[in-house]
Structure 1
Amino acid sequence: MNIINKLTLRHLKENKRRTLVTIIGIIISVAMITSVTTLAASFLDLMKRSTIAQNGEWHFYLQDVNKEQIEAIKQDEATTTVVLSNQIGYALLEDSKNKYKPYFIVKEYNEQGFKQFPFELNEGRLPEAADEIVIPKDLETNGGIKYEVGDQLTIDVGERYAMNEDSARPLGQTPELNFLEDGTLSEILKNTEKKTYTIVGKVDHPAWETWEPGYTIFSYFDENLVSSENTFSAFVAVKEVNQSIYNLGKSLAIEIGIEPESVSYNNQLLSYYGVSNDDNIRTTLVSLSAIIISVIVIGSIALIYNAFAISISERARHLGMLSSVGATKKQKRNSVLFEGMVVGLISIPLGILAGLGGLGITFSIINSLIQNAFDINEKLTIIVTPISILAASGVSLVTIFISSYLPARKASKISAMDAIRQNQDVKLTGKKVKTSKLVRKMFGIQAEIGLKNLKRNKKRYQVTVFSLVISIVLFLTISFFSNSLQKSVELAQGSINYDIQVQTTYENEEELKSFAALDNVTEYSIVNSTYLNSWIDMDKVPGENIQSDSSLNKDGKKLYGVFIQALDKASFEAYANSVGADIEKFKDTDHPTAIVIDTFVYQNFDNGKITQEKSIYTDLGDKFDLIQQDFETEQETFVNSIEIAAITDQYPMGNSTAGFGTLTLVVPESLFEQLVLQDEYQYQMTDLFLNSSDPMKTQTEIEELSESNLFISNIFSDRQRAEQLVLLLKVFIYGFTVLITAISVANIFNTISTSIALRKREFAMLKSVGMTPKEFNKMINYESIFYGIKSLLYGLPISVAIMYLIYTSLMNTFSYDFSLPWMAILFTVIAIFMIVGAAMLYASSKVKKENIIDALKMENI
């Protein structure tokens, strides 16, 4: 090792604080890049495993294929496994206590099917012959019928037909059951065949069987017993999952002689491989990933560059001394590059380990949260890919090289005397330090001195402003991305904010109240609904609504459908408070008032976008005349007038999304009778929407307690998956936000404190010519303001530009208006001035106690 490198190492050791700050800055930057890439791989792996655990591992599905076609599929070089499935039919289950599941559904799977699909065996074993079956565990807990392993089961298996239809077509797998008015089943089985099975095991209820009108029992599909005329279903898994899978499925279908359109794809699982047949979604994911990763990588590069910029600024005098004893330009440049190499060799491995370790700790916390909140077995595990490690190392190495090479090249050109005196960055020309007279008149001489100093020390000033700008951009970008993500998920999920919906006729409201009192119910809302019409002036009708069903346009008005949603007292008060409505306005039953929901969400089938649209333009105090329209006789019956007391885009608990030519009015239940015609037929329905700590148990209890015809919809699993996704993304997004904020604050403190420390002689000189402590504080405060204003002038426009890029990416899939996160911007403005002010005060407090004479004598800090 040559003498220059030895001196560089000694200098690093002697300046421990500066060296440590540089190393920590690089470690954090490398950790961030490593975390982002590893997190993406780990998160996608979790979603893949979760989807496979719920729906099985298959990539596309072919229906009604025969034995010869199956052989062709198996021989295809892209195929890895083929699951064969066959639904034998339905068998009546007369003793079932669950009237919504009155059947056995017999399905067969081959050996591969029991491996690829998530069968959780509770007792016994899986079937190995065509006369063996496994039964679901909930047959006893939910249906009240008990069988033991080893029992013989003899059933008549056939096809479902509705009694009141003459059609020869069977009902197939539709989950809707046909009931008579007295609640008895109005279906029969035809083409039955007696079958005897031996029960060899019990399994958990499969997640993909939620909506079936019976309990599925699974038998073994023996391919050797199948004739060439029989057809069945094939679930195919391929070797490599990429965008070509859609062409593969179609070409395979054509090759074996079936319609390409009949191929179905496991789109949920494929999406976690980054594969989608929706160009809009694919474009959105790619562009969003590119923007967010670019922002984080640029932020990380900025942290590394700033750390070296500060380091080289402090080392200028040291380099000057090397030059004074004969060091060449090349040796000085190599000294700085050697420092970069040493720091990189230490910090890059530590940064990678820190990133992986931080994710490991985060995953351990998140896993317990997920398992407790959502009752799932899958865990987030760290998936380390070569790409993530190479990306973090490569970006960091290039950044360190650039960050050290540019200052090194400049430092090599500085003369020995200039470097020792440290006046290379000080610009004393009048033009460079000229300030506006307005500054002095408005803020005084202290502000002018502070501003001139920033202009004199332009490099240090720019480094500080750059740190602040990066902080603003990172924070606002991540904040906007988080808000946009939440908005997009809400649009995609619609207004589904409940676990179970129980629907009945208006007369059975008391029965619904008994369901709401069940032990596991955590929240509920009882909604009475009716449907009316109203003629709306065209100037209040949005453009898209005018075009929808123009036959309803007449005399400058459009006939709207009006959904009336009447909430129970407690639910209405909670909803009214959440949208900022005055409860008192709804208590006068002689003058009905309502909350109007003026927006709705729909999917545009022309471009595939999920869009939020206005349903009506209305103002507080507007009145609507509600009518009942008989479209056959064109007779109109006036019902009542209703006044708008509040306007919102938030839906109450329950799915009540309107559409084109319709709107939703929310009223308290006390007004419902005012909006219903007496002695006339009018649509009326009552729904119970509830959330439960155990939705499956609550559904079972409702079915057991029910004494009337009810429609029960349990969407807990769908809602669970959406909430799980949002929760995970939010945790990591806000985690990165906190990390970025902490890094930025530390970087700003380091930059400003170093800058202040290098100005000890300057401050001593100002004090020596009469500047009082009060005036000194004013100067520091004004400098803080200038820093803040300058950084905001750059940071806010850049942030808005990146926000719009994110918005544009999301608009490939969604459609809603662009809006700035004003609260986040306000918080950022306040935070910037607080951070800069605190950093300036902290740094200046350390130089206030310096003796003027000693400070003037100092050549360097």
Structure 2
Amino acid sequence: MRNIFSEITRRTMGQNRTRTVVTIIGVILSTAMVTALAVFAGSMQHFLVQHTIAMEGAWHVDISGMTREELAEVLADDRVEKASVLYELGYVPAREEDGICHLVASRDETAWEELPVELDAGRLPETEDEILIPYDGIWIAGQEAHVGDVLAIPMGRYVSETGETQKSWELVRETSEEAGRAGQYVEGQTQSFTVTGVYKEMAEMDFGSARFDAGYMLLTGGRDIPDQDENGLYCRAFLEMKKPGQADGFIADWVDPSDGRNRLEGVSWSRHDSLLRWQGVFRSERYIQFIVGMLGTLLAVIMVGSVSLIYNSFSISLRERTAQFGLLASVGATRKQLRKSLRFEAFLVSGLGIPLGLLAGVAGSAVTLHFIGGGLTAFMYGYEGEIPVQIYPAALLLAAAFAFLIVLVSVWIPSRRIRKISPMDAIRSTKDIRIRPRDVKSGRLTGKMLGLPGMLASKNYRRDRKKYKSTVVSLTVSMVLLMTAALFTIYLTRAGGTILDPPKYELEYTLFLSGSQGDEQTTGDVRKLLENEPGVEEVWMYKSIYLSIPVEENMLNEEYSRIHSWSEEDHPDGKVPFTCPAIVLSDDEYQEFLKEQGLEEPDAGAAADGADGTDDTVLKAVYYDQMQVYDEENETYSQVPVLSDEVKKRPLAAGIYRAEETPDGGQEMTFEEKLQVEFDQETMQLPEKYDAQGRVDPIMILSERQFEQYRSLMRDGTEGESYFAEFNIRASDYRTVGADLQEKLEEKEEWDGIFYTPAADAEMNRQAVAAIQVLCYGFIALISLIALVNVFNTMSTNLMLRRREFAMLRSVGMTGRSFRLMLGYECVIYGLRSLVYGTILSLLISFAFWHFTSRAGGGNEFIFPWPWFAAAVAGVLLIVGITMAYSIGKIRRMNIIDELRKE
């Protein structure tokens, strides 16, 4: 409803277009930041959920080894939305000499729909007498199977000593170390099947691997539930809950024996962690605390920054309209009406800024995903795809409500001043400027050192503290916003890298070398082949060796001993066969690494034993001794040393373990010493290019010279001098490049090596790290814009409010140089104060982030990134300089007489 107060508010906003526009921009940016984060996170989450479902299925809990009766009880649970069921039909031998059997199974209609099978050849089976095989030429009942073949195969089962039918995970190949664990095979009725197709390895899709302990899985086309027969075969169900959060309660009720109330016994089960993670279900309360703490701190800083930006605008509006409010109050306007006038301005700003902010946030997320979607999918999955924008109405409503709350808080703070201002004080503006002789008195040193401009700057700061406090607060908040963005990125990325531990390289090739003269030629040929492969972006090669060093078990960390679990047979001499890997860098890389770590080259200045002043039989090495372990009780990751101080800084025997026959026909391990090793200097970081994923051992870092020293001591005609050449390969389209490289390397029969694709095994971790990085960089960009607008709005408006003061100074003869010096000194005053406050607040925020990440296992190192801090200070000062130049330019163009006449 229009009234005189709303009309005055509209007219005032129109007369102060710059401030109004800047305020609306502040609301737009605040809304856009929250909206963009919500839309981007929602789009990423939706994409990752849908991709996981497409690759692995929508199930939440997998239970294997149930009877038909147990399955019926499980399906009657109200929490189960749907089930995809796989039924065991029997086992069929491959061929007699293999000693293995394949499992023949059928799936119900839901399983064929929800857990799709990708074909390599042929078609899907449609009836119960048609079958799919895992690869062409597989042996079934003593015959090779190909697409189109009709096979007559006996269907049997395994039974235990008690006559019970055994389950698939209870069976192992008879050629394994646990031979005899499989029960007796009982042959059943022979059935005929037609091979219709070959399916791809389902282990990649994680819902019913093609291979299990007993053999491979053969799928028939039956869609109906098979009748219960006397064989007592089992079934496997992939269950989807109505709500993902119900999965853990269901597991506790049915299958988890640790909870004590499980209804099913003797079954195998798994939880679909990869899907539940993206659906927001975490098993660890510490991770929930970590996410809530990090996001809570982030949103609190965003809110403070947004409130600061918008509050400054309304506070300045109140200062501009103080005399106006005094006149309105003198003619009968109540304080409630005056506050409504200010709130009406807030509604107008919100009505324009929030919708535009929502559109800007959605558009920004859409543009970002359009340009980086292909790169993200390539990083996560090895192929370029598209990430569609997913807009959740609830997220938009929350973003709008959050932005409106910020505006209301920003208005409420300055509107309280209206209640404390009398009409006469408002008209005279006596509340804005308070002059007390003691407060505005400046020291003699200020006048002597800085002259009249410095003295005026000091007095200006003291006589109108509220105005200058708003500038100091604005600069401090802007600096803290930039530091928060940097700290959030660093801590979250480090936590993701520590907890998720994604590989640095997409592909790896390990070449086994025997120590012959042709090793260098072979290594060069392999490297040339890899570097010439289209799509390969980088190849980094290093050599690696493994040194056996017998030590007392109490010289090693207990956690390390638990992971390696040596038995008494492994160390009959009372020492454990500790094996320490070593990586060999080129001489240039080695010297650069020592320089980066501030270390000296080993053997430098050592006591002379050999002709050249060093002991040639002692290999002194730089080493890294930090092992990442997970504490299940506290649910945290930590870095712990492996070696005790008794092991370090002294020569240790190193050599080869050999198996020798004993008189009774057995074998005994004996150790033959070849050289001595000394852990000389410890480094707290590994070489930057080295990928230490999954590492649980200390690592030595050697030079080529030390490697040759090692080879010369080990060379005695034995296998002891063999070593490895490790090739780390970076490729964006790693699936295509990896398939081509693997084929080419397999053709080189003279090369003895293993090709590996770590990126494929760490897709989930890569997804999380990629999402973290993109969210952080987008957050930094938006925070920087808010900081820029915040400083510009506060400083430019405060300077414009002092037009009469500046006009008076110019009228009495202040030169342009003195004028600029005065403003420059003022900038120094509140710049220094902002620096102090900003540093303290940044340290507190860094402590908060450190607290949450350390509790979740993201590392225990407190971080204060001084380069980022210097960049934040420089950025804020640059914005101040630009704003000052802009405001001074406008002030110089103003007419002195006109400004002095204004009231």
Matches within 5 A, 1:32-431: 32-86=33-87, 108-120=106-118, 125-134=123-132, 150=148, 152=150, 196-201=192-197, 203=199, 205-206=201-202, 207-208=204-205, 212=211, 218-220=219-221, 222-227=224-229, 229-242=232-245, 244-253=246-255, 257-259=263-265, 262-323=268-329, 326-373=332-379, 374-376=381-383, 379-411=386-418, 414-416=421-423, 418-431=425-438
Task: Report what 2:868 is aligned to.
Answer: 824
Contact (CA 8 Å) 2:512, 2:722: kept in 1 or not? Answer: yes
Task: Report what 1:664 is aligned to.
Answer: 700
Matches within 5 A, 1:601-612: 601-612=628-639
- The residue identity in structure 2 corresponding to 1:678 is D
- 1:639 aligned onto 2:637: no
- Report Cα offsets for 1:448-470 as digits up to 9, x if no partner: 32132123222222222222222
Task: Report what 2:878 is aligned to.
Answer: 834
Post-superposition offset of 1:356:
1.7
Task: Report what 2:163 is aligned to.
Answer: none
Secondary structure, aligned partner of 1:799 = helix
- Report Cα offsets for 1:671-707 as digits up to 9, x if no partner: 4414636356759552534325422443344344445
* Separation (CA, whole Å) in 1 of partners of 2:523 and 2:253: 53
Report the RMSD for the aligned CA atoms in angstroms.
4.6
- The residue identity in structure 2 corresponding to 1:274 is G
Secondary structure, aligned partner of 1:127 = coil
* Separation (CA, whole Å) in 2 of partners of 1:124 and 1:239: 36
Post-superposition offset of 1:196:
4.5
* Separation (CA, whole Å) in 1 of partners of 2:306 and 2:266: 48
More divergent stretch after superposition (701-710 vs 391-400): 701-710
Contact (CA 8 Å) 1:594, 1:642: kept in 2 or not? Answer: yes
Contact (CA 8 Å) 2:482, 2:787: kept in 1 or not? Answer: no
Task: Report what 1:182 is aligned to.
Answer: none
- Report Cα offsets for 1:352-402 as digits up to 9, x if no partner: 222222212222222222244444587433433343233223233333233
* Separation (CA, whole Å) in 2 of partners of 1:177 and 1:490: 40
- Report Cα offsets for 1:257-305 as digits up to 9, x if no partner: 4239954211221122222222322322232232223322332333322
Q: Would the alpha carbon gap of residues 644 and 252 (structure 1) be closer, same or farther in structure 2, given more than 3 Å must change? A: closer
Q: Would the alpha carbon gap of residues 705 and 568 (structure 1) be closer, same or farther in structure 2, given more than 3 Å must change? A: farther
Instruction: Tell me the TM-score normalized by structure 2.
Output: 0.79
* Separation (CA, whole Å) in 1 of partners of 2:458 and 2:678: 63
Contact (CA 8 Å) 2:155, 2:191: kept in 1 or not? Answer: yes
- The residue identity in structure 1 corresponding to 2:414 is P
Post-superposition offset of 1:586:
10
- Report Cα offsets for 1:10-56 as digits up to 9, x if no partner: 33233322222222211211222222333333332222222222221
More divergent stretch after superposition (233-242 vs 260-269): 260-269
Q: Would the alpha carbon gap of residues 584 and 266 (structure 1) be closer, same or farther in structure 2, given more than 3 Å must change? A: same
* Separation (CA, whole Å) in 2 of partners of 1:499 and 1:625: 37
Contact (CA 8 Å) 1:69, 1:256: kept in 2 or not? Answer: no
* Match for residue 686 of structure 2 among 637, 650, 669: 650
Contact (CA 8 Å) 2:674, 2:713: kept in 1 or not? Answer: no
* Unaligned ranges ≥5, structure 2: 159-165, 569-574, 605-611, 659-667
Post-superposition offset of 1:417:
5.3
Task: Report what 1:528 is aligned to.
Answer: 544
Q: Would the alpha carbon gap of residues 312 and 191 (structure 1) be closer, same or farther in structure 2, given more than 3 Å must change? A: farther
Post-superposition offset of 1:153:
5.6
* Separation (CA, whole Å) in 2 of partners of 1:461 and 1:449: 14
Q: Would the alpha carbon gap of residues 397 and 524 (structure 1) be closer, same or farther in structure 2, given more than 3 Å must change? A: closer
* Match for residue 818 of structure 2 among 769, 775, 779: 775
Q: Would the alpha carbon gap of residues 427 and 413 (structure 1) be closer, same or farther in structure 2, given more than 3 Å must change? A: same
* Match for residue 482 of structure 1 among 467, 482, 489: 489
Task: Report what 1:597 is aligned to.
Answer: 624
Contact (CA 8 Å) 1:28, 1:351: kept in 2 or not? Answer: yes
Q: Would the alpha carbon gap of residues 203 and 452 (structure 1) be closer, same or farther in structure 2, given more than 3 Å must change? A: farther
Q: Would the alpha carbon gap of residues 372 and 586 (structure 1) be closer, same or farther in structure 2, given more than 3 Å must change? A: farther
Secondary structure, aligned partner of 1:45 = helix
* Separation (CA, whole Å) in 2 of partners of 1:198 and 1:641: 63
Secondary structure, aligned partner of 1:223 = coil
- The residue identity in structure 1 corresponding to 2:30 is S
Contact (CA 8 Å) 1:525, 1:571: kept in 2 or not? Answer: no
- The residue identity in structure 2 corresponding to 1:252 is W
Secondary structure, aligned partner of 1:128 = coil
Secondary structure, aligned partner of 1:383 = coil
* Match for residue 813 of structure 1 among 856, 859, 862: 856
* Separation (CA, whole Å) in 2 of partners of 1:726 and 1:52: 20
Q: Would the alpha carbon gap of residues 545 and 712 (structure 1) be closer, same or farther in structure 2, given more than 3 Å must change? A: closer
Post-superposition offset of 1:738:
1.3
Q: Would the alpha carbon gap of residues 624 and 472 (structure 1) be closer, same or farther in structure 2, given more than 3 Å must change? A: farther
Task: Report what 1:13 is aligned to.
Answer: 14
* Separation (CA, whole Å) in 2 of partners of 1:461 and 1:261: 71
Q: Would the alpha carbon gap of residues 159 and 566 (structure 1) be closer, same or farther in structure 2, given more than 3 Å must change? A: farther
Post-superposition offset of 1:748:
0.6
- The residue identity in structure 2 corresponding to 1:197 is F
Matches within 5 A, 1:545-694: 561=578, 563-567=580-584, 569=586, 576=593, 579=596, 594-615=621-642, 624-625=651-652, 627-628=654-655, 637=673, 639-640=675-676, 644=680, 647-651=683-687, 652-655=689-692, 659=696, 662-668=698-704, 669-674=707-712, 676=714, 678=716, 682=720, 685-686=723-724, 688-691=726-729, 692=731, 693=734, 694=737
Aligned length: 825
- Report Cα offsets for 1:49-81 as digits up to 9, x if no partner: 222222211111212101111111112111111
Post-superposition offset of 1:605:
3.7
Instruction: Tell me the TM-score normalized by structure 1.
Output: 0.83
Q: Would the alpha carbon gap of residues 499 and 172 (structure 1) be closer, same or farther in structure 2, given more than 3 Å must change? A: farther
Matches within 5 A, 1:738-749: 738-749=781-792
- 1:804 aligned onto 2:861: no
- Report Cα offsets for 1:501-543 as digits up to 9, x if no partner: 455654286767655424255424253312233879x9x9999
Post-superposition offset of 1:427:
1.4
Q: Would the alpha carbon gap of residues 812 and 54 (structure 1) be closer, same or farther in structure 2, given more than 3 Å must change? A: farther
* Separation (CA, whole Å) in 1 of partners of 2:168 and 2:634: 36
Contact (CA 8 Å) 2:796, 2:884: kept in 1 or not? Answer: yes
- Report Cα offsets for 1:601-636 as digits up to 9, x if no partner: 222344232212345699xx9675553487989978
* Separation (CA, whole Å) in 2 of partners of 1:586 and 1:129: 74
- Report Cα offsets for 1:227-257 as digits up to 9, x if no partner: 3721122211111121x43222221348884
Contact (CA 8 Å) 1:502, 1:713: kept in 2 or not? Answer: yes
Contact (CA 8 Å) 1:46, 1:378: kept in 2 or not? Answer: no
- Report Cα offsets for 1:180-211 as digits up to 9, x if no partner: xxxxxxx9x97788765334455555423689
Contact (CA 8 Å) 2:479, 2:838: kept in 1 or not? Answer: yes
* Separation (CA, whole Å) in 2 of partners of 1:704 and 1:581: 45
Q: Percent identity?
A: 27
Task: Report what 2:161 is aligned to.
Answer: none
* Unaligned ranges ≥5, structure 1: 161-167, 180-186, 553-557
Q: Would the alpha carbon gap of residues 594 and 772 (structure 1) be closer, same or farther in structure 2, given more than 3 Å must change? A: farther
